[in-house]
Structure 1
Amino acid sequence: MRKYFITGLLILVPIAITAWVLNAVISTMDQSLLILPERWQPHNIVGFDIPGLGTILTIAIVFVTGLLANNLIGNYFVRLWERLLHRIPVVSSLYGSVKQVSDTLFSSSGNAFRKAVLIPYPHADSYTIAFLTGTPGGDVKNHLLGDFVSVYVPTTPNPTSGFFLMMERSKVVELDMSVDAALKYIVSMGVVAPEHSPTKI
């Protein structure tokens, strides 16, 4: 009975967690329907709420925004809007910081979180997986002697929190492993190991 119970848990727990996460995401996105006028709300048109309609609306808004921003006129209005935000004292610093991070993470030309590496952490005799995020800059670079890189060390099992480190490049080993595979390895606490790639000679 214990064997069958554990087998059932292994099957149902991932399904339940996946369904819970999807439900939370869809419910949050459905809140975007509140931007519609009251008479256009689904429950006023068809008499009941339509789950997932807000998700479709959110995706459509993001797509149309990107489409409009990629032409000359749209790009002009985006720059105008950003200049306006930069004139507001508190908003300017907050918006500027968030935009810089998002540009770094989501830019197709950037290198952030595109390489999994192996580093000695938290001491020289133990190792963990981290992600290459770039190289030190600003005045920090002036105080580092040698060739350094910036890495992000995620925590387990929640990779959204972690530690930012600057390490000598010679101590950082690039892994022949995709970012997705590395994240699965971290979240599963080493249980879901990536497929072994034979060393090329």
Structure 2
Amino acid sequence: MDPVVSEKPPRIAIATRLRNNFLAGLIICAPVAITIWLTFAFIDWADSWVTPYLPQRYNPEYYFNIAIPGTGLVVAVVLITVIGFLGRNLIGRSIVNFGESILNRTPLVRTLYKSIKQIFETVLKDQSTSFKKVGLVEFPQAGTWALVFVAAEAQGELRQRFDAMGQEMVAVFLPPTPVPTAGFLLFVPKDKLILLDMTPEEAARLLISGGLIVPEHHMKTLPVPAAERRGGPA
């Protein structure tokens, strides 16, 4: 007698194909849909801030009687660019200095303004390396590693304090997963920070995905053994 060959019921095979096709379609459609949604959400947010202050004669919606997405965003970009152009010449610089002098004399507001201005100047200046490097530090205990964004070397009073202790410290930002919008500011010894070659964008994707999206990478140099980094025997 011929051996009986068991075959899977056709309905199971069809269900498996349907599930695989659905998952494949989800992988294709979900990123596109989320990207489009986030883009339009940002455009609507910008429009809600700018469009209400546009005079009717300068608002295209007044002539076409329909909402035109992106009008406020375009106006904001043009306005910021013009302000930047004017602020770089003598007359515009004088106006900016006058406005800053008023803010600097206003209680409470001056502290907020100086802090925000210093942050933007530090992050956006051409030579800035703030948050452009990614590293690893041992946190919350030895042998456990956390991904961090390198902010800058310690400055001011903090640097003086650390120098008195004979330590060269670096400020790093430790974000949580999966929403890296908040976190911890840590000062770690420079020799305990392991710099990575991945970009901040790749690190952000790694954090948001909970470690699922690991960037492809070819190491340029071999990692230094932990014992050697701590000054112990090799």
Output the TM-score relative to the length of structure 1.
Answer: 0.91
Partner of 1:36: 54
Please tell me the residue identity of whatever aligns with 1:27: D
Aligned: 1:73 with 2:91: yes
Count residues in correspondence.
201
Instruction: Choose which of 19, 44, 57 in structure 2 pairs with 1:27.
Output: 44
In 2 relative to 1, CA 27–189 (structure 1 residues): closer, same or farther, beyond 3 Å? same
Please tell me the residue identity of whatever aligns with 1:11: I
RMSD between aligned residues: 1.8
Partner of 2:130: 112
Instruction: Choose which of 73, 79, 90 in structure 2 pairs with 1:61.
Output: 79
Instruction: Choose which of 94, 100, 111 in structure 1 pairs with 2:118.
Output: 100
Partner of 1:199: 220
Q: State, as a whole percentage, how many aligned pairs show the same letter.
A: 33
Higher relative contact order (CA 8 A, sep 6+): 1
Please tell me the residue identity of whatever aligns with 2:212: V
Partner of 2:175: 154
| Alpha-carbon separation, structure 2, partners of 1:128 and 1:7 | 32
Q: 1:172 Cα shift?
A: 0.1
Please tell me the residue identity of whatever aligns with 1:52: G
Q: 1:140 Cα shift?
A: 2.7
Q: How does 1:160-179 map to 2 (within 5 A)?
A: 160-179=181-200
Please tell me the residue identity of whatever aligns with 1:41: N
Partner of 1:90: 108
Q: 1:116 Cα shift?
A: 1.0
Question: Which is worse superposed, 34-43 or 74-83?
Answer: 34-43
Please tell me the residue identity of whatever aligns with 1:106: L
> What whole-Å deviation, never above 9, does each CA across 1:84-130 have from its counterpart, x for those lacking one?
11111121111111111111111212221111111112221111221
Q: 1:72 Cα shift?
A: 2.0
Q: 1:137 Cα shift?
A: 2.7
Partner of 1:51: 69
Please tell me the residue identity of whatever aligns with 1:19: I
Partner of 1:7: 24
Q: 1:166 Cα shift?
A: 0.2
Please tell me the residue identity of whatever aligns with 2:176: T
Output the TM-score relative to the length of structure 2.
Answer: 0.79
| Alpha-carbon separation, structure 1, partners of 2:195 and 2:121 | 24
Describe the SS at the equivalent of 1:89: coil
| Alpha-carbon separation, structure 2, partners of 1:198 and 1:111 | 21
Give the conservation status (yes or no) of the 8 Å contact 2:198–2:217: no
Describe the SS at the equivalent of 1:73: helix
Describe the SS at the equivalent of 1:113: coil
Partner of 1:140: 158
